[in-house]
Amino acid sequence: MALSYILETPCPGFNFENSTRNTVLDGLLSGGKSKTPSPLKTGTTIAGVVCEGGVVLGADTRATSSEVVADKMCAKIHYIAPNIYCCGAGTAADTEKTTELLASNLSIFSLNSGRNPRVVMAAQIVQDMLFRYHGQIGANLILGGVDCAGGHLYTIGPYGDMDKVPYLAMGSGDLAAMAILEDGFKPNMELESAKKLVRDAIHSGIMSDLGSGNNVDICVITRQGVDYIRPYEESVYKDKRYRRYKYKAGTSAVLTERVIPLEVVEETVQSMDTA
Amino acid sequence: MNTRGLRSQLKDSVPVAGLCTQAGSYGVQDPLRKGFSSVKNELLPSHPLELSEKNFHLNQDKMNFSTLRNIQGLHAPLKLQMEYRATRQIQRLPFLQSSNIALDTLRGNDESIGFEDVLNDPAQSEVMGDPHMMMEYKLGLL
């Protein structure tokens, strides 16, 4: 008796049907020489500082795919709410989708309650989401924002660990950036010196880490509003692309010229009926 | 009096009666889609998240209800579970996709968005069961 008509409705959410096939195929293709494609990682330097009047977030703009720079102008500072922005390091797709889901949840909340969300609420939502998936979602996030209680900076790791700190760096260049932050941070810094400190931290990450590079983006969040400066500083190693490679007429000299006139021998017209 | 029909009208869902776990559409092994069958594949989960995701809502409900019972006494989870049962029975015919509005409102799913709303949405599934057969299965006439 065929069972094709009795259908079990598929469970919404992640589908694990292909995971056995994937583990079997992993080393099987051409004797282990070809591998499954690896996801795009951001190999990043991101940093954040709580200053007087708000929060300053900074990030580099390079996205790598193994040894190749995949994106030179990648946007790593994501919008979450009008008063909350989030920098993401790790797997590019995971950080994008996690922050988008977080932004959607917070906008539903704002529409329901009529208020701007608090930063601790965003941190709690994303922590619950990442803990549920036990680290399989590779997203290291720095969540920063200003709400009624002042400026806050939270770090959330892929396994769901959360910490509230006054200054922070994450990503593959975090050691270099952290060194600059540890040296230059003072509590209640003023905005301009905080911006310079974050820029210096990202710059040292760009210089010392292979996975970070290109430009520096800065996002300044204050009670009055958000200033997303992209790019804050462009890399000095930019290449100049003209994008039009047409040569002027007369670049190559004409040696001889021969004109052959074409004679029309016969002309027939066949009309097509276009309905 | 058709007691068999009455009893099966209380079913919540239409389960698949399979001969073996490797069975494809026609009741025989389907190695192209499901791979070679082995006892290990059937007993152990292939992905670390598979079991925890399958039971996630059940476990969360159990945890919440037991906390509620400890705090407020037996009546609180009892009343809530009665409401859940009532709303779970509001379904369309088995081959159609039900909206589950009341169930979603009770659970709080109407105010949040997660991977369940984006990935593998059952409302956009490309296969559908045969209407007559599924109704007969549900009523126990098969």
Mean pLDDT over each residue of chain B, to the nearest integer: 78
The encoded tokens of residue A52 equal 């007087």
Determine which of A17-21, A115-119, B97-101 has the lowest per-residue pLDDT on average. A17-21
**Alpha-carbon span A202 to A219, nearest angstrom:** 13
Structure confidence at residue A35 (pLDDT): 66
pLDDT reading at B1 higher than 60: no
Q: Crossing angle of helices A174-184/A191-208, nearest 10°?
A: 150
Structure confidence at residue B22 (pLDDT): 63
pLDDT band at A163; cut points 50, 70, 90: very high
Mean pLDDT over each residue of chain A, to the nearest integer: 87
Q: Which residue has the tokens 């499954």?
A: A36
pTM of the model: 0.78
Determine which of A3-7, A66-70, B47-51, B75-79 has the lowest per-residue pLDDT on average. A3-7
- Nearest CB to A108 within list B112, B129, B134: B112
* A44 part of the active site: yes
A136: Cβ contacts below 8 Å, ≥ 6 apart? B48, B49
Question: Sign of the C-alpha dihedral, residues B45, B50, B52, B54?
Answer: negative
**Alpha-carbon span A224 to A148, nearest angstrom:** 12
Choose from B36, B41, B63, B133 for mutation: most chain A CBs within 10 A. Answer: B133
pLDDT reading at B137 higher than 70: yes
Determine which of A42-51, A235-244, B112-121 has the lowest per-residue pLDDT on average. A235-244
pLDDT reading at B6 higher than 60: no
pLDDT band at B8; cut points 50, 70, 90: very low
Q: Kindly state whether B74 is in contact with chain A, defined as any CB-CB distance less than 8 angstroms.
A: no
- Mean of the pLDDT values across residues A87-99? 90
Structure confidence at residue A237 (pLDDT): 75
- Mean of the pLDDT values across residues A44-64? 92
Chain B positions touching A20 (Cβ under 8 A) are 35, 41, 46
**Helical ranges in chain B per DSSP H:** 3-8, 31-34, 39-43, 50-54, 56-72, 75-88, 101-107, 115-118, 131-139
Counting residues of chain A whose pLDDT is more than 90, the rounded percentage is 55
Cβ contact, residue pair B120, A5, below 8 Å:
no
Residue A154: exposure state from Cβ atoms within 10 A (0-12, 13-18, ≥19):
buried
The ipTM assigned to this model is 0.72
- Mean of the pLDDT values across residues A188-201? 93
Choose from B120, B124, B134, B137 for mutation: most chain A CBs within 10 A. Answer: B120
Chain B positions touching A110 (Cβ under 8 A) are none
Structure confidence at residue B105 (pLDDT): 92
Cβ contact, residue pair A12, B116, below 8 Å:
yes
- More confident position, B37 or A55: A55
Tens of pLDDT, residues A226-271: 999 988 888 877 777 777 888 888 888 889 999 999 998 999 999 8
**Alpha-carbon span A65 to A45, nearest angstrom:** 16
Chain A positions touching B120 (Cβ under 8 A) are 10-15
Q: Identity (one letter) of the amino acid at A266? A: E
Cβ contact, residue pair B113, A12, below 8 Å:
no
Q: Which is catalytic among the residues A20, A36, A42, A44?
A: A44
Tell me the CA distances in angstroms from A15 to A20, A51, A61, A223, B47, one per residue in order: 12, 44, 33, 43, 10
The encoded tokens of residue B98 equal 């039900």
- More confident position, B21 or A158: A158
- Mean of the pLDDT values across residues A57-74? 86
Structure confidence at residue B25 (pLDDT): 65
